[in-house]
Structure 1
Amino acid sequence: MDALNAVSASGTTTLGGTGEWRPDATSALPLHAQISDYFIGKIRSGAWPPGMRLAPQRELCRQLGVNRSTLVTALGQLTAMGLIEGKRGGGTRVVTPSAERDGSGAIRESTGFGGQVRAGNWNDYVEEGIHYPNLPTIQAINRLEYARGLIRLGTGEPAPELLPGQVMQEILAGLSREPLLPLSYEEPLGSLELRTALSNKLSAAGIHTSPASILITSGALQGLQLIAMGLLPRGAAVLLEKPSYLYSIHAFQSAGVKFNGLPMDERGLMTDSVAQEAYRTKASMLYTIPTFHNPTGILMDEERRNALMATTGALGLPILEDGAYQELWLDTPPPPPLKALDHEGRVLHLGTLSKAASPGLRIGWIVGPEAVVARLADIKMQSDYGASSLSQLAAARWLSGGYHEAHANVLRQKLRMRREAVLEILQAHFSELATWNIPAGGFYIWLSLRQPLPLRKLFKAALQSGLLLNTGDLYDRGDNRHLRLSYAYASITELETGLSILAGIIRNLQRHP
């Protein structure tokens, strides 16, 4: 298990894990010597620069599969060599090379770029970058999702068996037989063939737009980043549902944007509070996921959508609509997206192929006024000079060939079966522990514990039992009683096993909080 970014008991990030490497028990070289050699290689190669903090000893022992005395012997050798040092309350860190120390052994400060005084190592730059790091738990989840043996109970993507692998392989094979593949850059807005196919697709959902009003992005997340950087001044306020997926990432916070949460009920965002909060905060924009909200799974009904459009229209307040789950309805088709109700150009609409077709293609889009998407396209060109030309071509053929609609129908059937299975499992194991919603689409069930719990402790206890959770405090910092459960990734067997184990962990924490 790669715990390079593990979560420590204090909730902070610890660095310097061992990845997939373990000492060889069959080697003639003692285990402690293998470990010290490995650590020396990491330090001297620069992979572990001065100032980097090593993972706690208990975590290193687990990663390496050795007892504590073996590890302590190895660390003692590195300490004697002057490569690491331990400080009370500060953990063990890689030390600055001896050339940077004065005669007393203390680290000598040096003047870095811009006249700033720094210790002369990359750790200073890591701490001072203007882009906020992910939340420690999000960093852990991002890495642990690729660890073997964990049951992923909250993952927000379709399981590999739900993806159209065979059809996509046929599309790619067909492209390989064409006389000329697009190996050059695409135009700033993205492939015209793909934007045309998207224009036709969006029309079926009631969004009538031309290719000139569509910008292709490297996934919907990049769309959020471009909007945060390109359309909002530092210090701007954004209204959004609370809880919200947007709280779990730092695209807007890194751009100096402030969030102001609005309450929800079973019908979606409560519009009564929008005007008051917009005036109070001088809000620049409202962000919403009206269709199968992440993380709650709530579907905003048609009456509430019309009320939201009327209220924001009177305020002149722009809307950023995240439509990632729009087509993943399981019972009946949802109301039209907000963009379909927009006759003033106030709504920017985000979409993606990641939730239904392929996360790996990294294809998303922004729909909006031509001047806005042109501005965002300019920023995107400065960032990455466009999404992959090959991915855009494959996505265009996927959409224009009619494959997307056929796959979406099959995917909805499979997700419906998974949802029903999870609801039965919850009834069997959680009826006394929690309540939950029955989502009409998307991936998520919002589990509400009857008693509050320390969610960081629950996350760690679940991880020790082989479960990876998405806890509610990722989407609302003050939450202490919710979990986002996904029926899209783990198999039914894994969900049965994992939820049964989780129920036992919750009961134990309630008895011994």
Structure 2
Amino acid sequence: MSWQPNRQSATTLQQQIIQWITAQVERGDWVAGTKLPTQRQLALQFDVNRSTVQQALEELKAIGLLEARVGSGIYVTHNSWHTLIQQTQPNWQTYIETSLHKPNYHTIQLINDYEQRDEMIRLGTGELAPSLLPIKEIEASLQELSFQPKALGYSSPQGNEQLRIAICNYVKKRGIDAEPQHVCIVSGALQALQLIAVGLLEQGSIVFQESTSYLNSIHPFQSVGMQMMSVQRDKQLAQTLTQRKRQAVFYAIPTLHNPTGDVWTAQEKRTLYEACQAARIPIIEDDVYHELLFEAPVPPIKAMDSSGQVLYIGSVSKTLSPGLRIGWLIGPTTVIERLADIKMQTDYGSSAISQEIVLHWLQSGKYDQHLSDLRQQLQQRADFVEQILQEKFQEVASWQTPKGGFYIWLKFHQPIVDKEFFMRLIQRQVLINPGYIYNPQDHHHIRLSYAYASYEELWEGLEILYECAVKSMDFY
């Protein structure tokens, strides 16, 4: 062992010693368990002060390559090879932990995982069952479409112009007056929220919402530094909004709220609009469920908007196919141009083929016919589930008859809905969406979906849910 550090090098003596010892382990000259020479011997060999050797060894012990054994000396650790791999690769865990986007709640990560398993009975899933998707009709549409070469290339920043025209005509039924320049095609409603978060708001902005909210289960605003603030839609709302000290928006799902299923009255919509107007706060109106209302819908907030205050979000993900990834955002031209520019920087436009399919369905009348059939099937499923609830659950829970959409907001009489309850159901192969993912303080509710599981699965899953609920309540 004749190596000595180079005193002419720009690298410090200590760092050179660290590199040399590391190389001995990498080459296998010093295998796991090898005892190193004493500090005095190494200092003599390297012709350096003993303190320099000591500092180098301390650093190697800190990273886990070496270990000190009391009364014996310093040794190469048995996990030295793993330590070396960590030293030669980027520390990905540090990158992950310090990244901008927040991780999902562990419960939601588990939901996303278990939803892919065929053996699970999915009682919380927010999508249509495969049997409710118009698969054959969509396949037939592909035969009916005639694609122009340009249509299969990148679309304009705001999306397929013909589709934007068709959407303008479609939303007129909702009382919304819009021109193509007011529309941006997005890859689902979630992308619309992400674009708003990064394209319109400064860090620290306030996002007002109801205390139980879909936004609490995702992080498009939180991950870019926004403050989420829950408010009550009461007489003090206008005062609360006016007293804010930061830039702000109000996020609302007035029709078939996710997860509660609430439907606002026309007066409730008017009250919120006027309160936000007085405080000069924009409204994000998420209206992706309105087409699934069992009765005639009340016009949206956007229909009363005369000043471009409301950003309106629609989508076919809840009605036609989530896999098409087509939604739309309607707002003032300057806002739409800004968000379309950001969208082009991130994905260069939504799927051209998906846009053509949605255009065909809107123009041909297929979409309206499909919605009529779909509402009938969802009504039948809702009636089926509510009958089971009336027969078995009245002693343990309460609920409101669903007005449409996918969900029943089931409230247990006791606060049994915790992580343990969630996991116990998974063990019985039943997957739920617990209320605490929408409101961290909520341990009474689950979002019960009648839209995905088959009738047989709904019956079996609700039997298991009832058994677990009764067992949990026995502890109270």
1:127 is aligned to 2:97: yes
Counterpart Cα distance in 2 of 1:453 and 1:277: 34
Partner SS state of residue 340, structure 1: helix
1:501 is aligned to 2:464: yes
1:250 is aligned to 2:219: yes
5+ residue gaps, structure 1: 1-80, 83-98, 264-268
**Superposition pairs of residues 399-414 of structure 1, within 5 angstroms:** 399-414=362-377
Counterpart Cα distance in 2 of 1:232 and 1:104: 53
Task: Please tell me the residue identity of whatever aligns with 2:221.
Answer: F
Partner SS state of residue 224, structure 1: helix
User: What residue is the counterpart of 2:50 in the other structure?
Assistant: none
1:141 is aligned to 2:111: yes
Are the aligned partners of 2:202 and 2:247 in contact in 1 as well (CA < 8 Å)?
no
Query: Cα distance 1:309–1:120, how it changes in 2: closer, same or farther (>3 A)?
Result: closer
Q: C-alpha offsets along residues 42-68 of structure 1, whole Å, 9 cap, x if unaligned?
A: xxxxxxxxxxxxxxxxxxxxxxxxxxx
Query: Cα distance 1:131–1:185, how it changes in 2: closer, same or farther (>3 A)?
Result: same
Which residue of the other structure, out of 162, 166, 188, is the alignment partner of 2:136? 166
User: What residue is the counterpart of 1:466 in the other structure?
Assistant: 429
Shift of 1:109: 8.6
Shift of 1:119: 7.6
Q: C-alpha offsets along residues 59-105 of structure 1, whole Å, 9 cap, x if unaligned?
A: xxxxxxxxxxxxxxxxxxxxxx99xxxxxxxxxxxxxxxx9945632
Counterpart Cα distance in 2 of 1:487 and 1:146: 18
User: What residue is the counterpart of 1:374 in the other structure?
Assistant: 337
1:345 is aligned to 2:308: yes
Shift of 1:428: 1.2
User: What residue is the counterpart of 1:415 in the other structure?
Assistant: 378
Counting helix residues as a fraction of each chain, which structure ranks higher?
A: 2
Shift of 1:279: 1.2
Question: 4+ runs of 1 displaced by more than 6 Å?
Answer: 106-110
Query: Cα distance 1:183–1:165, how it changes in 2: closer, same or farther (>3 A)?
Result: same
Counterpart Cα distance in 1 of 2:199 and 2:453: 37
User: What residue is the counterpart of 2:37 in the other structure?
Assistant: none
Counterpart Cα distance in 2 of 1:212 and 1:277: 30
Are the aligned partners of 1:118 and 1:124 in contact in 2 as well (CA < 8 Å)?
no
Number of corresponding residues: 406
Which residue of the other structure, out of 356, 367, 370, is the alignment partner of 2:319? 356
Shift of 1:475: 0.3
Are the aligned partners of 2:238 and 2:275 in contact in 1 as well (CA < 8 Å)?
yes
Query: Cα distance 1:412–1:395, how it changes in 2: closer, same or farther (>3 A)?
Result: same
1:200 is aligned to 2:175: no
1:298 is aligned to 2:268: no
Shift of 1:282: 3.9
Are the aligned partners of 1:429 and 1:499 in contact in 2 as well (CA < 8 Å)?
no
Query: Cα distance 1:280–1:192, how it changes in 2: closer, same or farther (>3 A)?
Result: closer
1:186 is aligned to 2:155: yes
1:329 is aligned to 2:301: no
Are the aligned partners of 1:324 and 1:351 in contact in 2 as well (CA < 8 Å)?
yes
Partner SS state of residue 127, structure 2: coil
User: What residue is the counterpart of 1:512 in the other structure?
Assistant: 475
Query: Cα distance 1:319–1:270, how it changes in 2: closer, same or farther (>3 A)?
Result: same
Identity %: 42
5+ residue gaps, structure 2: 1-31, 34-62, 67-74
User: What residue is the counterpart of 2:27 in the other structure?
Assistant: none
Counterpart Cα distance in 2 of 1:271 and 1:383: 41
Counterpart Cα distance in 2 of 1:193 and 1:226: 22
User: What residue is the counterpart of 1:384 in the other structure?
Assistant: 347
Shift of 1:129: 1.4
User: What residue is the counterpart of 2:398 in the other structure?
Assistant: 435
1:220 is aligned to 2:189: yes
Task: Please tell me the residue identity of whatever aligns with 2:267.
Answer: E
User: What residue is the counterpart of 1:481 in the other structure?
Assistant: 444
Task: Please tell me the residue identity of whatever aligns with 1:446.
Answer: W
TM-score by length of 2: 0.81
User: What residue is the counterpart of 2:44 in the other structure?
Assistant: none
Counterpart Cα distance in 2 of 1:118 and 1:249: 35
Shift of 1:142: 1.1
Query: Cα distance 1:430–1:281, how it changes in 2: closer, same or farther (>3 A)?
Result: farther
Query: Cα distance 1:444–1:118, how it changes in 2: closer, same or farther (>3 A)?
Result: farther
Which residue of the other structure, out of 239, 245, 254, is the alignment partner of 2:208? 239
Task: Please tell me the residue identity of whatever aligns with 1:212.
Answer: Q
Larger Cα-atom Rg: 2
Counterpart Cα distance in 2 of 1:432 and 1:500: 14
Which residue of the other structure, out of 398, 401, 415, is the alignment partner of 1:452? 415
1:426 is aligned to 2:392: no
Partner SS state of residue 182, structure 1: helix
Counterpart Cα distance in 2 of 1:392 and 1:185: 11
Shift of 1:121: 3.2
Task: Please tell me the residue identity of whatever aligns with 2:121.
Answer: I
Task: Please tell me the residue identity of whatever aligns with 1:376.
Answer: L
Counterpart Cα distance in 2 of 1:433 and 1:281: 44
CA RMSD of aligned residues (A): 2.4
